[in-house]
Amino acid sequence: MNGPFLLTLIWIIPFVVALACLLVPHDNHRLMKLFSLVGNLINLGLVILLTLKFINVAGIAPAGSDSSASIFHFAYKTPWFKIMNIEYNIGVDAISVLMMLLTAIVIFCGILASWEVKQQAKEFFILLNVLVAGVYGVFVSIDLFVLFMFYEIAVLPMYLLIGLWGTGRKEYAAMKLVLMLVAGSAFILAGILGLYFESGISTFDLALLSQVRFSDSFQYWAFPVIFLGFGVLGAIFPFHTWSPDGHASAPTAVSMLHAGVLMKLGGYGCLRVGMYLLPEGAQVWMGFFLVLVTINVLYGAFGALRQTDLKYITAYSSVSHCGLVLFGFTAMTFTGLKGGVLQMISHGLMTALFFCLIGMIYGRTHTRTVSEMGGLMKVMPFLSVAFVIVGFAGLGLPSLSGFVAEANIFVGSFANTAAINRVCTVLAVLSIVVTAVYVLRAVNALVNGPIAPKFSLLTDATALEKVPVSILLFCLFGMGIMPGWIIELVNGAIKPIFNNLSR
């Protein structure tokens, strides 16, 4: 199977699954779940295949070794809309491959975790698969138009997914989430059109645009526009408020996918479109964004400190951790960029597992207020231990993925000798203490302590539920203990971006 075909197949399969679900009778939930599961299992297989192929190819011809060569592998393009020279232009570099791998894992686990959906299962799985297709699409596309298109496809299903199957103030949360993200994409749109017209070559092709030296005056306004636009999805302060409400209201699988993968689209876009194409603008604006994301990191952590709802705690921790992604980027150093990318992956796995576990625990206790729980270790050791581990991953414990990423971010950020970078790095490092505080508060309140009598008859995870948890745990440990190959891959992908930044 050749590369481009594989790439196309990967984003098409979820669409096909969605269509297949469309044809399934309304009450046959089992079949729909089976379709989704099998479809995404196949996709997981394909993505793994892609990863292996990629490692193979990247090993032979390291990307970016020669500046004229495209940094994308398995590239393929064919004209789509002649009207604005829009092309169906796909290809991947290491970052996208890894993000696709993350997506495949998270969605597979997510579908397993949403096995219990009963209400309007058909619409649920259709929307979920459309969402997934959008996410894959963003990662495979090199054409900015196509990328933007998939980006929006990935955002919109959230409205119904939260609004229909969510809990709490779901309609408000769903509306806020979608509107804020779409408002962000308004900026992206302007930025993309600017890139198209200002480049002088009238193309949306990222690879070609990256060779263009945009005028400074253009970069000065376009960079913040694009960075903020994508940053909204990366929960950049002060545009993060969709995140706590949205994540808290969303159903399990959606929280998993959204916090795990979708929020990464923001960081991905910032890096791929913002920093890669507009390096001079990045140089000028980075100080400003550095301050913003430092606020993010600290603010998310302190915000999580006083929350009582598990999902809110996790959501604020996501704000803090996603802040670290952008923090790595704003360091503007090789290691920092790499750390940001690693943090995307790490946080994706971690937060997916977090929400997965919260969903399972909530399904049993029917409360998410930490103070009402306690001693769950007694009745659900598996879930509790997993929760403790993911908590540790959150506070950056070595041997779990979080450390690998955070170490890179901090080292990278420290390597930037500007005084403001140094100060922000110190502040960000100190945030890990706050992280420890809120994580341990949650963990202790949840799994430790005496058990409430009403919970004493609850059961541990079923075999089916153990599967996603185990997979994600495995990945957390895998990345934490053997980060070598991932780092190797990311190194290759970061190099051209970094070269652009330091030109």
- Touching other proteins, residues 186-215 (CB under 8 A): 186-187, 189-190, 193-194, 196-197
* Comparison of 39 and 303: residue with beta carbon closer to other proteins: 303
Nearest to 132 by CA among 37, 247, 238: 37
Q: Is 380 in the site for other proteins (CB under 8 A)?
A: yes
Q: Smallest distance from the beta carbon of 312 to other proteins, in angstroms?
A: 9
Nearest to 274 by CA among 11, 103, 265, 203: 265
* Comparison of 3 and 129: residue with beta carbon closer to other proteins: 129
**Cα–Cα distances in Å, from 306 out to 205, 350, 374?**
46, 21, 18
Share of the chain residues as helix, strand and coil, in percent rounded to the nearest 5: 75, 5, 20
* Comparison of 22 and 49: residue with beta carbon closer to other proteins: 22
Q: Is 175 in the site for other proteins (CB under 8 A)?
A: yes
| Separation CA 381–CA 385 (nearest Å) | 6
| Separation CA 457–CA 378 (nearest Å) | 10
Task: Show contacts with other proteins in window 332-351 (CB under 8 A).
Answer: 333-335, 338
Six-digit token pair at 417? 């000798």
Q: Is 183 in the site for other proteins (CB under 8 A)?
A: yes
Main-chain dihedrals φ then ψ at residue 92, nearest 5 degrees: -135, 150
* Comparison of 111 and 146: residue with beta carbon closer to other proteins: 146
**Window of 69-77, 257-265, 343-351, 412-420 that interacts with other proteins by CB under 8 A:** 412-420
Residue 435 DSSP SS3:
helix
Q: Smallest distance from the beta carbon of 305 to other proteins, in angstroms?
A: 4
Angle at 323 between CA 373 and CA 444, to 5 degrees: 20
Residues 6+ apart with CB under 8 A from 489: 54, 55, 58, 94, 97, 98
- Longest Cα separation, the chain: 70
Please name the residue that has the structure tokens 């049993």: 364
Q: Is 483 in the site for other proteins (CB under 8 A)?
A: yes
Q: Is 284 in the site for other proteins (CB under 8 A)?
A: no
| Separation CA 207–CA 87 (nearest Å) | 12
* Comparison of 50 and 439: residue with beta carbon closer to other proteins: 439
* Comparison of 108 and 334: residue with beta carbon closer to other proteins: 334
* Comparison of 41 and 152: residue with beta carbon closer to other proteins: 152
Q: Is 185 in the site for other proteins (CB under 8 A)?
A: yes
Task: Show contacts with other proteins in window 285-324 (CB under 8 A).
Answer: 299, 302-303, 305-307
User: Cβ atoms within 10 A of the Cβ of 422, count?
Assistant: 13
Task: Show contacts with other proteins in window 16-35 (CB under 8 A).
Answer: 26
Q: Smallest distance from the beta carbon of 275 to other proteins, in angstroms?
A: 17
Q: Smallest distance from the beta carbon of 45 to other proteins, in angstroms?
A: 26
User: Cβ atoms within 10 A of the Cβ of 25, count?
Assistant: 9
- Asked if 142 and 206 count as a contact pair (C-beta separation under 8 A), the reply is yes
Task: Show contacts with other proteins in window 417-446 (CB under 8 A).
Answer: 425-426, 429-430, 432-433, 436-437, 440-441, 444
- Asked if 347 and 390 count as a contact pair (C-beta separation under 8 A), the reply is no
Among 116, 152, 309, 372, binds other proteins (CB under 8 A): 152
- Asked if 138 and 185 count as a contact pair (C-beta separation under 8 A), the reply is no
**Torsion (CA) 32, 36, 37, 38 in degrees, nearest 10:** 100
**Window of 263-271, 279-287, 329-337, 355-363 that interacts with other proteins by CB under 8 A:** 329-337
Q: Smallest distance from the beta carbon of 2 to other proteins, in angstroms?
A: 24
Among 12, 84, 208, 284, binds other proteins (CB under 8 A): 84
Q: Is 80 in the site for other proteins (CB under 8 A)?
A: yes
* Comparison of 50 and 176: residue with beta carbon closer to other proteins: 176
Note the Cα 461 to chain centre separation in Å.
Answer: 26
Residues 6+ apart with CB under 8 A from 354: 259, 314, 317, 390, 394
Q: Is 139 in the site for other proteins (CB under 8 A)?
A: no
Among 9, 42, 415, 467, binds other proteins (CB under 8 A): 415
Query: Interface mask (CB under 8 A) for other proteins, residues 94-133, using x and -?
Result: --------------------------x-xx----------
DSSP calls for 339-369: HHHHHHHHHHHHHHHHHHHHHHHHHHHS--B
Six-digit token pair at 65? 């070794």
* Comparison of 105 and 489: residue with beta carbon closer to other proteins: 489
**Window of 55-63, 94-102, 157-165, 253-261 that interacts with other proteins by CB under 8 A:** 157-165
* Comparison of 41 and 488: residue with beta carbon closer to other proteins: 488
Q: Is 12 in the site for other proteins (CB under 8 A)?
A: no
**Window of 38-46, 47-55, 241-249, 261-269 that interacts with other proteins by CB under 8 A:** 241-249
Six-digit token pair at 139? 């990662």
Q: Is 176 in the site for other proteins (CB under 8 A)?
A: yes
The DSSP bridge partners found for residue 493 are none
Note the Cα 431 to chain centre separation in Å.
Answer: 21
* Comparison of 72 and 187: residue with beta carbon closer to other proteins: 187
Among 32, 99, 100, 178, binds other proteins (CB under 8 A): 178
Q: Is 467 in the site for other proteins (CB under 8 A)?
A: no
